[in-house]
Structure 1
Amino acid sequence: MPSLPPLWSSLRRVPSRLPPLPGGARLWVTLLSLGFLLAALKGNAEQLLAQRLDPQGWLWLVIGVGLSLLSLVINGLAWAVGLRWFRLRPRWGLSVRAYLSTNLLKYLPGGIWHLAARVRLLVQGDRLLAGPATSVATPLALAATLLDPLLAASAALAIAAAAGWRSGWPLLGLLPLLVLVPRWFQPLLQRLERSRERQLARSPQTQPLVQGLPDADSSSAGFLLPGYPLLPLLVQVLFVLFRFSGFAACVLAFDQQLSLPWPAWLLGFALAWTAGLVVPGAPGGLGVFEAVLLVQLGGQLAEAPLLAVALSYRLVVTLADLLAALTARLDAALDPPLRNCGIS
């Protein structure tokens, strides 16, 4: 049998895995995104400082905070709908409050504190779940928690496909919708669940939250998807649209509504928001959202007003996250049943 060519033989000896980046991919994505954003800010500093808000513009920003706050409530409801889709019986009001209360934890380093807190609340099922069978195995709790961002990303890409159908985006939106078919979604969700469980277990940041959880290797640890997650997906579509309405208020605040058609704004927002959700980077998608938005829309309008819109939206959603968490915790502090559920 003839020997392999020397070049092919050397290629076979190349490692199949590249060595990990120093500090991890999250650090490098954060640095690159923030570096790109800082460079854009420096290059447009004079024009950016020239941007001014009139009283009507400030009113639009206040409206944006309210719309973003409402979107968080819808997101909490979407999480509860996902729990119900998994054939659990969530206490609806408590589930939404728990979601809002833990949402602020996403800004902590590591980006997994909010997931760990929700998993712990689900495993201690008597807090959030009704009915006689309230015990939830850790893998099922993790899967129900991971379902929320996966469906949110799928919904955002579907909206992007609808907004940019003339630009050739429909295939991008159809792909994640096809992945949600149980035949493919079941192994994907199980793999993500196992990966996230290992991350929670070995991270010193989340060990206080996950210590004492049931063993994932027990016989009751498996889970099966009950079908296609259509209803949770539709609620996530509503959430993303309300999220965009908060962004649209920032566009109106700086009188940029005529700079681009609204479908183009929606397309740019949906793509940037999805990137900020799924790309590993700074907590809350800081820097990633703004960088992708600049890349997507920067060639279609001046960068200075686009930067003003992006930065004001970051301020609006952060304030909405803070208000939602504080309101949920205050509500729990004033209501003993909520406090007993561990939401405060």
Structure 2
Amino acid sequence: MGEIMREKYDLVVFGDICCDLIFSGIESLPGPGEEVWADQMKVTVGGAFNVAAAASRLNLKTGIPCIYGTDIMSSFIHEAALEEGVDTRLFLHIPQPYLQASVVLNFGNDRSFVSYAAKEKEHELEQHIENIADEVPMEVAVFSMTDKENYLDLMKKLRRHGTKVILDCSWDERLLTSEILLKQIENCDYFLPNLMEARRITGEPEPEAVIKKLSGHTANTVVKLGCDGVIAAGGGRMLRYPSVDLGKVVDTTGAGDNFAAGFAYGLVQKKSLEECILYGQLCGSKSTVALGGFTASLYESELMDLVHKKAI
């Protein structure tokens, strides 16, 4: 860890990563015993890696603590990190297979998942992550919501060190209504759920009621409304933004992850909440025009061009 300690990361991403097998152009999900055919398929790396890869394209020095083993999927993940410029020095290598995979089925403007992740080395990964939180300086940290109890202590520790903590969300019906998630929300600086997730957390149907309830738990809440844009609360204000359309939607797998990367980019650049949201919207929208969570992710120059066009 000594080599890493001397360098400050713009962003460190905390969350599970996996190989994604993505199918698109499906008319409907198959029923029991049925088979459906997709128009397109792609094998890529997904999960929290989408945030890291998208942030690296935005020229942020980015790392992601994770395990990789001796299996073909682990090798694929490691090679993708090298290709995308994600710092692999936060990776923990183990001399055995460590399978992590997710099947993504895109239909209409939504998607469903079937996932698997090896669990036998979780304690080693938790210790590795705790060491990183103690020793690695970082400007921003993005956490995926989790039932791992040590993550709450990590969030508190990083905030004490001056790191800005973003909590991102995903669909886990049990976790969305749990006490541990509420504690994580209360100990982050920015919470970024989508409307479906936020409704499940709060029990409120309307975006305004959702944001009002969530703002009682954290300083800044940003709720993504899909084609209806974004609603946010921060600094005692409620803000509403229209959607951003950058092309035909092919795959929404990484939209939220790219939003988080763009938002984090804004924080690193010391931008306002409004500007961070715009960066997030542009990155999230662009990511949906190709298969894969980061295939179409914006590079920094492309993002700045779009920001300039929005300002004209």
Query: TM-score, normalization: structure 2?
Result: 0.27
TM-score, normalised to structure 1, is: 0.25
Q: Which has the higher helix share?
A: 1
Bigger Rg, which one: 1
